Each structure stands twice: as structure tokens, then as C-alpha cells.
Amino acid sequence: MGRRAAEPVLPSLVRAARRELVDRRPVWFMRQAGRSLAEYRKVREKYDLFAICQKPELCAEVTMQPVRRLGVDGAVLFADIMLPVAFGLGVDVQLVEGVGPVIQQPIRTRQDIDRMQARTPAESVPFVLETIRLLRRELDPAVAVIGFSGAPFTLAGYLIEGKPSREFLTTKRLMYAEPALWETLMTRLSDLVLDYLLAQIEAGAQVVQVFDSWVGCLSPMDYRRYVLPAMTRIFTGLRRAGAPSIHFATGTAGILTLMREAGGDVIGLDWRVDLGEAWRTVGYDHAVQGNLDPAMLLGPWPVIEDGARRVIEAAGGRPGHIFNLGHGVLPDTPVEHLQRLTEFVHAT
């Protein structure tokens, strides 16, 4: 009888997400593909963000740019969190430079929700899935393809506010005053996010991250009541797909145990918490990701090195730490700092 083909070796980032031992600590950066890279700025001279996302070859190229320049262990899909909202739900979304997503008709009533379309990812965002397939073919197998989606609360915040907000007062007013309408919207959005991520995994994403950028504006009590059910539904649904999931949010020092309860194989930590203390809170049965302050990369290298070393020491040598920033790369970050940081993490 012939020999069986050897099982493919999984990327170190995937193995770390499963809390397996790895030869070196994996590292990637949120927003690593973007304005910090000159080659990306050159692409943006010709194309806006949505246009890039709708051209799989170009989108794959932008996704791979930081892998080549920085030597990171993951290629995170270049996309905007509003893609499934715009193309899957049929919501009129404009990406306004210097502002962010702007919704022409913010949600106020049940009729606004009922007007939303219900299209599958294959129908609405085939270009996203094709980009993932291209990445799997073209990337070194040692580099993980990371898919992602915005979380229901963050998407709801944009849909209700109509534009980015810091306080989310209109969102909270609807949440408190019309809980049935809120539940309907969160159910609709959790369906959207789950289907979107499952389609990404089927297309070849090896890890998926759920970004809840703005949920830190909620109290623990409100998170449990108004957000936890939707997040639990998403992460429970993702388990059947087999790819590890990362649950990331900002401003979450007070809800880490609730995030753990909601689900996710990896809990992403922002820079406002000590990684060691946060890992104890989350529990060592979960992997963690993070959590250097992105602003630190604007400073001199000795400061960056000291901060990175402290993050690594806080991890305590336990398997299951993925090095990242505590939020996205800032546009003015020197590329050489990202390169040097990647090399430092790999060597430490």
C-alpha cells in the first residue's frame, strides 16, 4: 500500500489560536494593510476603498502588501466592515473621507429594518470570497489567511447613528426605548455576520475575527442584556466550521468575563488592560491576542521595544498568545517600526 499524504502543517497563528505550542510567537497587526504603507497609498490614488474590495486581484495584492513588507504571520482580508451591510442588506452606505461610513437613511422604525434585503454572501459579496481563494493560492502556506466581520452592536451603531459616534446616544435611546425593535435588528445582524464569516471560512479563511469596535460604551449590565445573546449565537455557529475565532473589542476592561461567556477561541485585548491580568480574568482555557498601544509605535524604538517586551513577559510563556496591537495601526506609523517590531517579537 502507498503512503498516506502527510497532513499539511497549519500556520503558527492558527496553532497559537488553538493554544498549541509554536516555534515562534505569531504576530500580525490590525489595519496592517492601509495608509501606513506607501504602496497602499499609491493604489488609493486610483481607487476608493469599496472599489478595491470589489476587484479580487487588486484586493488580494493590497492584503499581501504588509506580509511582504513586514514579515507578519497573518494576512488579514482587506475589506470594510460595512461591505455586508451595503451589499448584503442593500443599505445605502457612503464612505466619506475623514468621517467614515455614512448611512443615508438611518434606522428608526421596524419598517426601516423590513426594507433591508436578505442576500447570501455568495450573491452579495462574491468578490470577497474570490479574494480569499486567491490569497490561499498565492500566499506562503505558513501565513494564515484571516477573515473578519464587524460585530452586531458596532454595525447597529452605524446603522442607527447614521455616522461614526463616540457616545452612541441615539443607539442607546432605541435600545432602551424599543427593546423588541433592538432585538429584531440584532437578530438580523447576527444572522448576517454569521453567514458572512462561514462563507469566508468555506472560501479558505483559516482564522476569523469579529471586531466590536464600539461596544465598550456599554455597561456590563447592558452588554449582558442587549449584546451577549447575539454574540453567543455567532460564536456558537462558528464552532461547526472548525476555524478558530477571535473576539476583539475596545474599552472592554469591565466586560472581559462577558466576552469570554459570549465565545471566541481567542479574546483580543486592547491596550487599556494589562495582558497578564486580563488573561487570568479571561481564563487560560482561551488564547489571547494583543496588546501594545498603537500610539507607542509613533515613539522611538527603545520605547517600542520596552513596551513589546512587557507585553511578551505578561504572557508568561504560556501557549496561546498572538502578538498584536491593542487596536489598528495608525496612519502615521513608520513602516520601519512595524518591521523591526515583527522581527523583535519573532526573536523574543
What is residue 105's DSSP assignment? S
Residue 7 lies in a domain: no
Q: Report residue 113 as a C-alpha cell.
A: 429594518
Q: Is the peptide bond before 291 cis (omega within 30 degrees of 0)?
A: yes
Task: Give the structural domain span for 280.
Answer: 12-347
Count of domains for the chain = 1
Residue 122 lies in a domain: yes
Residue 343 lies in a domain: yes
Distance CA 108, CA 87 (A): 20
Residue 193 lies in a domain: yes
Determine the 3-state secondary structure of 293 from DSSP.
coil
Determine the 3-state secondary structure of 277 from DSSP.
helix
How far is C-alpha 331 from the geometric centre of its chain's CA atoms?
A: 17
Q: Contact at 8 Å (CB) between 229 and 263?
A: no
Q: Contact at 8 Å (CB) between 230 and 236?
A: no
Distance CA 34, CA 30 (A): 10
Question: In the chain, what is the greatest distance between 2 CA atoms, to the nearest angstrom?
Answer: 69
- Distances in Å between the Cα of 271 and the Cα atoms of 39, 65, 187, 304 are 28, 25, 30, 13
**Residue positions annotated with a catalytic role:** 31, 35, 44, 80, 158
What's the CATH code of the domain at 258? 3.20.20.210
- Per-residue pLDDT reduced to its tens digit, 128-185: 999 999 999 999 999 999 999 999 999 999 999 998 888 899 999 999 999 999 999 9
Residue among 342, 326, 244 nearest 289 (CA): 326
Residue 197 lies in a domain: yes
Q: What is the pLDDT of residue 309?
A: 98
Residue 290 lies in a domain: yes
- Per-residue pLDDT reduced to its tens digit, 286-296: 999 999 999 99
Extract the residue ranges of the chain whose pLDDT is less than 70. 1-8
Residue 3 lies in a domain: no
Q: Contact at 8 Å (CB) between 95 and 80?
A: yes
Distance CA 217, CA 167 (A): 7
Residue 5 lies in a domain: no
